[in-house]
């Protein structure tokens, strides 16, 4: 098990402004965004915890990872030829969660939310690059509990059990309703693969701002 907490984060005013999708620049908007950036830059500290686990007992719609059983046919199929995987939890960090913004100040509130997403994305990218270098991995993909009906969010409990006390390690707690706090946190399993896999390829929902790949009916048949 390893904690990664020296993760660089690039917080740029121009990029932050673009997230507001405004047609013309506004000095007032830039000033408000810059105020948040000045607070966020010195304290942003995204974190990741990951574990190296081995895959056993692949059977039907389930698979054991690190001695913990997970129920998902898609996950089991994806790991058919895989022996070693990397479960992880990544977060924007409690430092950003503790920044107080008046709820009626929508500009600052939205900008802070963007900065949290940027910090979380930085943690994700850093983890993938770190694993690829340290373990000489080629192409990798990842799956996250709750991203597909086939692998429900209830399996967050099993995933967290691989790490012990995640709150003590990187500050992330799992609520009774299975939400992670800080909210800009994500858990999943990273695994080597010959062909890049995205959960979105198996999801037919048309209107989704988070879509990363087109729906593939042919790929759906592969997992039946």
Residues 103-139: tens digit of each pLDDT: 788 888 888 988 899 899 999 999 999 999 999 998 9
pLDDT at 19: 67
Q: pTM for the full model?
A: 0.89
* 72 contacts 62 by C-beta, under 8 angstroms: yes
| Token pair for 217 | 């009916």
Domain 2-198 has CATH 3.40.109.40: yes
* 181 contacts 93 by C-beta, under 8 angstroms: no
Give φ, ψ of 173 to 5 degrees. -115, 150
Greater confidence (99 vs 32) lies with: 99
What are the sequence ranges of the domains in the chain? 2-198
* Helix, strand, coil percentages in the chain from 3-state DSSP, rounded to 5: 35, 20, 40
pLDDT at 50: 98
* 33 contacts 16 by C-beta, under 8 angstroms: yes
| Token pair for 104 | 């009626």
204-207: long-range contacts, CB 8 A cutoff, minimum separation 24 = none
Greater confidence (169 vs 199) lies with: 169
């Amino acid at each position: 098990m390893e904690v990664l907490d020296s993760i660089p984060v690039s917080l740029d005013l121009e990029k932050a402004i673009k997230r507001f999708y405004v047609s013309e620049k506004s000095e007032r908007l830039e000033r408000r965004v810059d105020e948040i950036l000045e607070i966020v830059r010195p304290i942003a500290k995204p974190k990741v915890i990951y574990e190296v686990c081995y895959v056993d007992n692949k059977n039907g719609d389930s698979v054991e990872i690190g001695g913990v059983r997970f129920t998902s046919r898609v996950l089991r199929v994806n790991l058919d030829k895989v022996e070693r995987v990397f479960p992880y939890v990544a977060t924007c960090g409690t430092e950003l969660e503790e920044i107080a913004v008046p709820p009626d100040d929508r500009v600052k509130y939205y900008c802070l939310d963007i900065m949290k997403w940027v910090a979380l994305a930085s943690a994700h990218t850093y983890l993938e690059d770190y694993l690829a270098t340290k373990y000489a991995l080629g192409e990798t993909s990842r799956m996250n509990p709750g991203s597909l009906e086939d692998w429900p969010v209830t399996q967050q409990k099993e995933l967290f059990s691989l790490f012990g006390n995640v709150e003590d390690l990187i500050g992330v707690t799992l609520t009774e309703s299975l939400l992670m706090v800080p909210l800009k946190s994500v858990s999943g399993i990273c695994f080597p693969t010959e062909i890049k896999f995205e959960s979105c390829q198996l999801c037919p929902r048309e209107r989704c701002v988070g879509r990363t790949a087109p729906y593939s009916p042919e790929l759906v048949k592969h997992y039946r």
